Amino acid sequence: MAENLPAYLQDFALFGFLCGWRSGEIKSLVWEDVDGDCIRLRGENSKNGEGRVIVLEGELADLMERRKAARTVQTPTGLVLSGYIFHNDGGSIVDFRKAWARACCMAGVGKMVCPTCRVGVDAKRNCAQCSKTWKYEQLKYVGKLFHDLRRTSVRDMIRRA
């Protein structure tokens, strides 16, 4: 599924899968949160107000090396360093639900449904049941959520323990 995401979201999703953090927690990460071979989530950026630390090793360490390489961003005024670990052209990642829904639909783990009938629509956004054609924004996404990565990650951590 990750290969169907825009490039700026691929490492973001992999980080979510590997560490089980919430999307808001991942969005908040800045380079000052990296302390040697670990990342510290500040309490003010976690849902429960408690900070946590994750050690960078294996695939997670490789991911962070890619993020360091992606830190430099070309702007109209020249090269700049993004303060965010995960960013979209240097700025913070805001809302990625549309990109997530598209990637899940392409991977076959989600679908867009008619807001009236709740039946899947075709590629041209036509509903076979009510014969209406919908704008993309009017459709409802049904399928895997980013939060599902959190559940999977925690389950995998428990199995490895």
Residue among 2, 37, 41 at smallest CA distance from 22: 41
For residue 1, name the pLDDT band (cuts at 50, 70, 90): confident
6-31 pLDDT, tens digit per residue, is 999 999 999 999 999 999 999 999 99
| Contact (Cβ atoms closer than 8 angstroms) between residue 19 and residue 33 | no
70-85 pLDDT, tens digit per residue, is 999 998 889 999 999 9
Q: Decide which of 3.30.1490.20, 3.40.220.10, 4.10.910.10, 1.10.443.10 is the CATH code for 2-95.
A: 1.10.443.10
| Contact (Cβ atoms closer than 8 angstroms) between residue 61 and residue 51 | no
Mean pLDDT of 117-129: 93
60 to 17, 44, 88, 122, 152: CA distances (angstroms): 10, 23, 20, 38, 16
147 to 66, 100, 104, 120: CA distances (angstroms): 23, 11, 13, 22
* 161 has pLDDT over 80: no
